[in-house]
Amino acid sequence: MKPFIAMFKARTMEYVRDRGSFYWSLLFPLVLVFGFAFAFNGSSSLFKVGVLGAGDPSLAFLKTEQVQFLTYTAETKADSVLDKLRHHSLDAVIDTATKTYWVNKESKNSSVVRLLLTRQEGGESYTEQQVTGQPIRYVDQLVPGVIGMNMMFGCLFGIGFVIVRYRKNGVLKRLKATPVSALEFVLAQGVSRFVIVILTSIFVYEGTNLFLHFMMKGSYLDLLLVMVLGTLSMIALGLVFASRFKNEELANGVINLVTSPMLLLSGIFFSLEGSPVALQWVSQALPITHFLQAARAIMLEGAGLAQLGPDLAFLTLFTAACFGLAAWLFQWE
């Protein structure tokens, strides 16, 4: 344990003594959360309406240009679509087969959509149903994304980039001559980054929650377990990048190449509801997407771990695969 403890302490103190990186990892997420909470405090001007069924040619409302219509196939359960309406992801739901529409009585957008529907040709033949749901602010959706983004950058650059720098500067070559094994070195790097990222994420959440009071319907312990699994997946991916790259420029380029789609397509800042199907498929191949889906399900829907099986299974398999690949590829020099 002595080599491991020595390497763990050295890496942790290196990070803490780098004041710029230390304060950036703490302050940037706070500024981002408060900034987005202020900038997007108002409701969106774009209406989104879910359509169940094949459409209705007699309903002129379906041609309204100010409304984005999202068509759901017969395999999609109506309850899951209505949940989107309860959570204010949709402003109304229309079932053209039964000529029924649902609105959320707590949603201001639903009231406008109702007027657009009932005042147009064919709308008078539809029956109204109502659902209720506690309003979900944009910042409630955002905070898991900010934590995930901080986790992603902290692990990929804090593990992948740093070890590549060690290799380029000859640090790994010198460590190879010491009693420290590759397993002890990599494990110390990973545990150090794990502790830093988890503590930083907790600080960001609690520090902003004191003022913004996020919606939390599920268990804090479940959220912490999901955060742990998400962090491990990012550390494992960072170790893959660190295993062979010989210079920082290449590592920086490849890490940015990987983080860019995760930043844009995982739903960190906005929902992918209504985006092209191909982008949604790509997003499901990203580990950060499954972390966000699980974290938001816990916070906004009160989901338990049993309901998060697919997301947790993906993160577990992804983590194991990346750790195995990193162990196979790793070289000191």
Confirm if 102 and 85 have CB atoms less than 8 A apart.
yes
- The confidence band for 6, taking pLDDT boundaries of 50, 70 and 90, is confident
- The yes-or-no verdict on residue 241 having pLDDT over 50 is yes
Q: Are residues 82 and 164 in the same domain?
A: no
- The yes-or-no verdict on residue 231 having pLDDT over 60 is yes
In terms of residue numbers, what domain contains 235?
2-38+137-329
**What's the DSSP call for residue 106?**
T
Phi, psi of 14 (to 5 degrees): -60, -40
Domain boundary among 82, 114, 131: 131
Q: What is the pTM of this model?
A: 0.72
Q: Are residues 73 and 112 in the same domain?
A: yes
**What's the DSSP call for residue 128?**
E
- The yes-or-no verdict on residue 96 having pLDDT over 60 is yes
Q: pLDDT tens-digit profile of 42-61?
A: 544 468 888 887 777 778 88
250 is written with which tokens? 């290449």
Helix (H) or strand (E) holding 69: strand 67-72
Q: Are residues 64 and 142 in the same domain?
A: no
Q: pLDDT tens-digit profile of 262-278?
A: 887 888 877 776 667 77
- First vs last C-alpha separation in the chain: 24
Q: Are residues 147 and 278 in the same domain?
A: yes
CA distance 51 to 45: 19
Q: Are residues 162 and 265 in the same domain?
A: yes
- Looking at every residue in the chain, the average pLDDT score rounds to 82
Q: Can you name the residues that pair with 104 across neighbouring β-strands?
A: 131
Q: pLDDT tens-digit profile of 164-192?
A: 888 888 888 888 778 877 778 888 888 99
pLDDT at 41: 57
Helix (H) or strand (E) holding 156: none
Instruction: Domain count for the chain, please give it.
Output: 2
* Residue carrying structure tokens 């309860």: 86
Q: Are residues 196 and 303 in the same domain?
A: yes
Q: Are residues 122 and 164 in the same domain?
A: no
Domain boundary among 111, 131, 151: 131
What CATH number corresponds to the domain at position 107? 3.40.190
CA distance 148 to 262: 10
Contact residues for 260 (Cβ-Cβ < 8 A; gap 6+): none
Tell me the HSE value of 74 on the side-chain side, using a 13 A CA sphere.
Answer: 3
Residue range 92-116: mean pLDDT, rounded: 86
CA distance 284 to 265: 9
Q: Are residues 160 and 227 in the same domain?
A: yes
Strands 100-104 and 92-95: antiparallel
Q: Can you name the residues that pair with 227 across neighbouring β-strands?
A: none
